Structure 1
Amino acid sequence: MEATSARQRLQKMLADLDRSIGVLRGDPLSANDRSPADAGSDLSDADRAQAMLAVATTQRRAVLDALKRLDEGTYGSCLDCAKPVPEGRLEARPEAARCVQCQGKRERRR
């Protein structure tokens, strides 16, 4: 992926993530604004929002790291094996830091 195109996509992703994180961090409705029938879903909604916030924050970090790799001239090289990350992977996941094989190894270790 060409550096200018990658930077534009990553910056758009970052802006979208920042908006989403802002919404997820917004103040929930106070207990007085909720009906008793909604009380049971409060915990579920809060847990769901917290999980979504965690995912968005992790993805935001990956996008910032990818922008840093662009600045350093290492974007598109696998962090583990230094081989090129396939173009198709970067098209699908511009923030990808590893080739498919190394990413698979990393996920199996978890």
Structure 2
Amino acid sequence: MERVKATDSALALIEKLKSKHGPLLFHQSGGCCDGSSPMCYPQDDFLIGKADVHLGEIGGCPFYMNKKQYEYWKHTMLIIDVVDGRGGMFSLEGPEGVRFLTRSKILPE
């Protein structure tokens, strides 16, 4: 079952960011400084741990979420989109004047 997918605009931005930064990785932020946003990093700059769940891939990039957060979201499909404005200050899309945004859809039982 597909747990994460991206809109066409998100896929286009991912390709742009990959051309600038190389292989990427996404991690769904659980709050705090950057709210609950999908964060985009160079693949080698973010360490995945035992507490992270691999939800799938978007644009050929792995997408992870913390296991505790996943327990709340396990009944949903995450739909990664792009909107105008500044997002998380640590995410690669910030300088582009847009931000990734997570939408969700309840999955059937």
Which one has the bigger strand percentage? 2
**TM beyond 0.5:** no
Q: What TM-score do you get using the length of structure 1 for normalisation?
A: 0.24
Which one has the bigger helix percentage? 1
Higher Rg: 1
Q: What TM-score do you get using the length of structure 2 for normalisation?
A: 0.24
